[in-house]
């Protein structure tokens, strides 16, 4: 039998506590391995670490790809790669309540390179008693049905694959009724007969009896392994489908778009404060006051609603926090997850129209403006504001990933974004007063705009590629 996963010399710390110490482990084709022990013993940490979800103090984690090459997924030197096609069910379901049942299953198949076949999807849902709820949102399901869907989504990439896959299941029987637990046992043994490998963390005696190997964690951190003859079951699994192109990043972008389209809390949450700032400015600031404080103040008022819009925390953060939805996506996507999320979470559409709306509302406050010349270049600060949005989104996501003591410090980095905002104000002021020029000295508007963009992109790059804490 060939290995699907290899863990070598694995050490994992949680703060100052050593949770996993010098673990060597292999998952082979055609076996179920059960991780057993009391709560907090490290079995969930070992399972999640197998998916590259935790930073490693020492050792390495390797997975086998379809070309039979063993590749490092994560190691103590900071090297990371995305996982090959696999299935994953977390202890929490890892699903957003705004998804529909059918959408979640199709996402699990798409990111694992399985062809999306509506008949097969219906067959899978029928097997687990979910077909009649396929168009319902997950938030409308009972806890038991939601757990069925989470477990099915973890198993489906192997059920529908013609090649051996690794499946990771954390407490899969938790919350399932007796009939669903029996179905789970049958499917585990059916998948093993097809050559798939499964790691599961469990307390359930029935699930433990279905395992080929049992790894036990005792109360003092010792690990022992025993082999056993699992119970035989009769299992009828759906036939596999054809392979398809793996679409991890595109699936994440489509998922985020559907969630926002279905419940546009991000757009509304950004737009309302920006519009309020614009209306208050229009109401409270008179033409005489703008004339006194100067054109730079007027330029700031034009850009302020757009800036407020881009620095507001994205709604993607609470969506990721729901039932560990973000952790599921992070494991599936791999090292590109933070970069992709920062793009998704940034305000792409709103900054530019907000600048033009601000201009249309406030431009009558200054009599000497040459509107046609300024309007010809007003898009440029709006375009650069997108780089500020990227930086702000990445910082908010970074803060949400860190421990509370670190997050309070990193959140102060948002103040750095005031610098590119001030550069844009100066650039817009010069465009208003003197028109657009293309010199490269630091007091030219183009140089200020380029500097603003570079500073924002630098902040974005640092926060996206900063090693995991």
User: Which tens digits make up the pLDDT trace of 57-111?
Assistant: 899 999 999 878 899 999 988 889 999 999 999 999 999 999 999 999 999 999 9
Q: Which residues of 293-331 are buried (b: 16+ CB within 10 A; e: fewer)?
A: eebbebbbbbbbbbbbbbbbbbbbbebbebbbbbbbbbb
Q: Would you say residue 301 has pLDDT above 80?
A: yes
Give the sheet arrangement for strand 17-28, strand by strand. 17-28, 3-14, 58-64, 70-75
For residue 371, the model assigns a pLDDT of: 59
- 89 in helix, strand or coil? strand
> Look-up: residue for tokens 């009828």?
236
* Whether the model pTM is above 0.95: no
- Between these two residues, 316 and 400, which has the higher pLDDT value? 316
Pair 200, 172: CB distance under 8 Å = yes
Q: What letter would DSSP give residue 158?
A: H
Mean pLDDT of 366-394: 82
- 227 in helix, strand or coil? strand
Q: Would you say residue 365 has pLDDT above 80?
A: no
User: Which tens digits make up the pLDDT trace of 199-237?
Assistant: 999 999 999 999 999 999 877 667 888 988 887 666 788
For residue 410, the model assigns a pLDDT of: 58
Q: What is the mean pLDDT of the chain?
A: 88
Return the structure tokens found at 172. 């899969």
Helix, strand counts (H, E) of the chain:
19, 10
Mean pLDDT of 408-425: 82
For residue 370, the model assigns a pLDDT of: 54
Q: Would you say residue 468 has pLDDT above 80?
A: no
- Between these two residues, 371 and 271, which has the higher pLDDT value? 271
Q: Would you say residue 418 has pLDDT above 90?
A: yes
For residue 139, the model assigns a pLDDT of: 94
User: Which tens digits make up the pLDDT trace of 32-61?
Assistant: 999 998 888 889 999 999 999 988 889 999
User: Which tens digits make up the pLDDT trace of 21-32?
Assistant: 888 999 999 999
Cα separation, 224 vs 237, whole angstroms: 33
Cα separation, 74 vs 7, whole angstroms: 10
Q: Which domains does the chain have, with CATH numbers?
A: 3-236 (3.40.50.300), 260-465 (no CATH)
> Look-up: residue for tokens 């694992």?
112
Return the structure tokens found at 68. 């039979």
pLDDT level of residue 434 (50, 70, 90 thresholds): confident
pLDDT level of residue 405 (50, 70, 90 thresholds): very low
User: Which tens digits make up the pLDDT trace of 141-169?
Assistant: 999 999 999 999 999 999 999 999 999 99
Pair 88, 49: CB distance under 8 Å = no
């Amino acid at each position: 039998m060939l290995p699907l996963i290899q863990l070598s010399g694995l050490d994992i710390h949680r703060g100052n506590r050593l949770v996993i110490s010098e673990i060597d482990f292999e998952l082979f084709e055609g076996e179920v391995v059960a991780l057993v022990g009391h709560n907090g013993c490290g079995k969930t940490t070992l399972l999640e670490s197998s998916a590259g979800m935790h930073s490693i103090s020492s050792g390495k984690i390797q997975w086998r790809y379809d070309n039979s090459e063993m590749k490092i997924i994560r190691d103590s030197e900071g090297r990371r790669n995305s996982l090959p096609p696999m299935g994953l069910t977390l202890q929490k379901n890892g699903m957003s309540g705004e998804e529909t049942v059918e959408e979640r299953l199709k996402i699990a198949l798409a990111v694992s390179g399985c062809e999306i076949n509506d008949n097969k999807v219906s067959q899978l849902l029928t097997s687990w008693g979910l077909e009649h709820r396929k168009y319902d949102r997950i938030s409308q399901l009972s806890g038991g049905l939601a757990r069925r869907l989470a477990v099915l989504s973890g198993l489906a990439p192997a059920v529908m694959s013609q090649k051996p896959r690794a499946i990771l299941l954390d407490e899969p029987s938790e919350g399932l009724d007796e009939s669903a637990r029996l179905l789970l046992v049958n499917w585990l043994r059916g998948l093993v007969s097809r050559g798939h490998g499964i790691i599961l963390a469990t307390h359930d005696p029935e699930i433990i009896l279905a395992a080929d190997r049992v790894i036990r964690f005792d109360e003092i951190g010792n690990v022992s392994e025993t082999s056993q003859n699992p119970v035989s079951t009769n299992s009828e699994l759906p036939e596999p489908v054809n392979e398809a192109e793996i679409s991890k990043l595109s699936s994440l972008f489509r998922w985020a778009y559907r969630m926002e389209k279905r419940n546009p809390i991000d757009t509304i949450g950004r737009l309302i404060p920006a519009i309020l700032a614009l209306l208050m400015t229009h109401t409270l600031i008179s033409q005489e006051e703008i004339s006194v404080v100067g054109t730079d103040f007027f330029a700031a008022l034009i850009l302020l609603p757009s800036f407020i819009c881009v620095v507001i925390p994205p709604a993607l953060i609470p969506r990721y926090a729901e039932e560990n939805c973000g952790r599921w996506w992070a494991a599936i996507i791999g090292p590109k997850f933070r970069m992709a999320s920062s793009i998704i979470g940034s305000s792409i559409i709103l900054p530019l129209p907000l600048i033009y709306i601000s201009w249309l509302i406030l431009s009558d406050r200054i009599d000497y403006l040459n509107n046609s010349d300024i309007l010809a270049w007003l898009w440029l600060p709006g375009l650069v504001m997108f780089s500020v949005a990227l930086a702000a989104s990445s910082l908010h996501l970074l803060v949400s990933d860190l421990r509370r003591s670190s997050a309070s410090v990193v959140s102060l980095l948002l103040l750095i974004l005031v610098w590119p905002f001030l550069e844009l104000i100066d650039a817009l002021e010069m465009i208003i007063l003197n028109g657009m020029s293309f010199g490269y000295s630091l007091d030219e508007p183009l140089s200020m705009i380029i500097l603003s963009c570079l500073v924002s992109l630098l902040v974005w790059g640092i926060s996206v590629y900063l090693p995991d804490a």
